Amino acid sequence: MSTWSRSSPLCPCASGPRRPAPAPTRRLSCGNCYSVCPDNAITKLGPGRGFAIDLDYCKGCGLCAAECPSGAIEMVPEE
């Protein structure tokens, strides 16, 4: 069992505001990111068109990046 702490690298508070940066060439279009986003910030674009992330609704939790099996989403510092 893992223990969560404020200094954990998984805590978005510890490293400052971050946002997801998808790499379109690596995506699998499996929909994991869409399924796990707690803020409904990810939208299905339709068959073969993948997904879009609306950063106005994203809180930077990093769940989409953590659950992506192809590593297509990287969390980067917010500018």
Residues of this chain that interact with ligand SF4 (CB under 6 A) are 20, 36-37, 39, 41-42, 53, 58-64
Helical spans, DSSP H, in 1-79: 32-36, 63-67
**Which CB atom, from 42 or from 72, has the smaller least distance to ligand SF4?**
42
Closest CB 4 distance from ligand SF4, rounded Å: 16
Question: Could you identify the residue written with the tokens 């192809």?
Answer: 70
Closest CB 6 distance from ligand SF4, rounded Å: 18
Closest CB 11 distance from ligand SF4, rounded Å: 13
Instruction: State how far the Cα of 16 lies from the Cα of 70, in Å rounded to an integer.
Output: 25
The length of the chain is 79
